[in-house]
Amino acid sequence: MKQWSDEAWQAAQPVYERTLTLPFVRALAAGTLEQERFRFYLRQDSLYLRSYFRVLAHIAARLDNVDDADSFIRFAADGVAVEKALHGSFLQGDMPLENEMSPTCALYTSTLLSQTLEPVEVEAASVLPCFWIYQKVGESIYAEGGSTASNPYRSWIDTYADPAFAESTNKAIEICNRLADNVSPAVREKMTKIFVKCARLEWMFWESAWNLEKWKI
């Protein structure tokens, strides 16, 4: 039987390929991204992660397998540590207020939080794009030589191209695959649909940072 992750990635691959061509990602790789856009992105990312970490912890509380629950707790704890180090180095204490959330950030976080009412398998699938797409983007930029001493965003690139991040991503994929093996075809389809939707929201998140997105009213 085909693994669920293969089906999910195949469905989301066109979104990922377009993500690699985003002006924000290309400028990040080249080291030419304006500080204003990068700081906008980090401020929104900080707001997003506040919800993301809560969802990871919620998934952990719902999982029957103790080892899987422990993995999600570690994902949340490790993510908090990385976020503090990475965002702290670039934002230098200039952290955003809750009401500064952009329309795209608000949409993404509300989408994740709404999955807490779905089966845990669907909720787990919703957080996977944040692992997988960041890993793939980081590795892609690194492979093309974006992580050079002259690139001011080298630490960001190195974080997501790091084998340790890939290890966490692979663990999350493995857990989602095992969860998918024990659900109905209908739930498995919902897992794929939310995975693709959140992959699209990853695209939108970087696009919104490039555009310095604001509320229109």
Place of tokens 């422990």: 70
Percent of all residues in the chain with a pLDDT value above 70, rounded to a whole number: 96
Q: DSSP of 95-131, one letter per residue?
A: PPPGGG--HHHHHHHHHHHHGGGS-HHHHHHHHHHHH
> What pLDDT score was predicted for residue 95?
60
Q: Is the pLDDT of residue 97 over 80?
A: no
Report the pLDDT value the prediction gives residue 90, as an integer from 0 to 100.
Answer: 75
Average pLDDT over residues 45-54: 91
The answer to whether 61 touches 69, Cβ cutoff 8 Å, is yes
For residue 188, pLDDT beyond 80: yes
pLDDT per residue over 101-137, tens digit each? 999 999 999 999 999 999 999 999 999 999 999 999 9
Is pLDDT at 93 greater than 70 in this prediction?
A: no
Calpha distance 208→54 (Å, rounded): 23
Show me where the domains of the chain are located: 4-28+35-210
Architecture of domain 4-28+35-210: Up-down Bundle (1.20)
For a pLDDT cut of 90, what percent of the chain falls above it? Answer: 82
pLDDT value at residue 2 = 85
pLDDT by residue (tens digit) across 148-164? 889 999 989 999 999 99
Q: What does pLDDT average to over the chain?
A: 93
pLDDT tens digits, 58-75: 999 999 999 999 999 999
pLDDT score recorded for residue 81: 81
Residue 88: band (very low, low, confident or very high) from pLDDT cuts 50, 70, 90: confident
Query: Do residues 61 and 123 make contact, with C-beta atoms less than 8 angstroms apart?
Result: no
pTM of this structure: 0.94
74-86 pLDDT, tens digit per residue, is 999 888 887 777 7
Mean pLDDT of 155-181: 95
49 vs 12, more confident: 12
pLDDT-based confidence at residue 94 (cuts at 50, 70, 90) = low
Distance CA 143, CA 151 (A): 14
pLDDT digits (tens, 9 = 90+) for 17-36: 999 999 999 999 999 999 99
Residue 84 has a pLDDT of 74
